Amino acid sequence: MSAQHAFVTGAGTGIGRAIALALAGKGFAVSLAGRRAGPLQAVAAEIVALGGKALVVDGFDVIDEQAVAAGAAQAISALGEVSVLVNCAGEAPSAPFEKTDPGLWNHVVAVNLTGTYLVTRALLPSLRKAGSARIINIASTAGMTGYAYVSAYCAAKHGVVGLTRSLALELARTGITVNAVCPGFTDTPLLDAAVDNITGKTGRSADDARAALARANPQGRLVTPQEVADAVLWLAGEGAGAVTGQAIAVAGGEVMN
């Protein structure tokens, strides 16, 4: 891989953490961006212990344009131009459509879609300077199909896939590729929150709730964060230079293009 500096949002836990560690393992210096310092510092310590280089960019709220600009400038100053951007920050609260009030709707769309726009916009000049760069948006199978009780999340992730495709065409002649990775139900803290919601509303056990989510995958299991990170590593590599504008499902066959 020719890239040297990767910038990962939502890097403190779950899929973002796995991606950051995987990129560091391939020799990238990694900017770890997120709102909470503690989890980011823990990931940075793991990277340093493995001989890698990491920068903690905390207080990085993807819906705060000023915070995004400041964090982008901090990362570029410390580690140089960004050649791989991974937009991973996201939230997935659930509610029936009729109980999805404008506050919930606007927040979910802001974090998942507008945040991707703001971070990409802030770092695109750096990505252009880096040359053959990569933008990888962590969307979801919710950006490829529908799920009940998460209408705002589905709408936002469909928007991320649309943004990915549009920007891929705009940047096609620049050497920058833009792709989306779309995980199915993945064993992360985000899924734990979904399990808690199911158990709270239905009285089912946590094990039953997790099994029900796993059954959505034809392989009968949850996706692992490392499997998502592996897809990101491939897209970040030189061998994926002709792949752009794609939404790649990592979901055991749950969604097929």
What is the tens place of the pLDDT at every residue in 104-154? 999 999 999 999 999 999 999 999 999 899 999 999 999 999 999 999 999
Which tokens go with 177? 């590729």
Roughly what angle, to the nearest 10 degrees, separates helices 189-202 and 206-214?
120
Residue 1 has pLDDT above 60, yes or no: no
Residue 233 has pLDDT above 60, yes or no: yes
Mean pLDDT for 166-174 is 98
CA distances from 109 to 89, 92, 131, 178 (A): 12, 10, 30, 20
Domains of the chain and any CATH numbers = 5-186+224-250 (3.40.50.720)
pLDDT value at residue 195: 67
- Give 210's contacts (C-beta < 8 A, 6+ positions apart): 191, 195, 222
Active-site annotation holds for 153 = yes
What is the tens place of the pLDDT at every residue in 55-80? 999 999 999 999 999 999 999 999 99
Mean pLDDT for 167-177 is 97
Which amino acid type is present at position 38?
G
- Give 214's contacts (C-beta < 8 A, 6+ positions apart): 185, 220, 221, 222
What is the tens place of the pLDDT at every residue in 14-47? 999 999 999 999 999 999 999 999 999 999 999 9
Which amino acid type is present at position 234?
W
Catalytic site residue from 117, 147, 149, 153 = 153
What is the tens place of the pLDDT at every residue in 185-219? 888 877 776 767 667 666 777 777 778 778 888 99
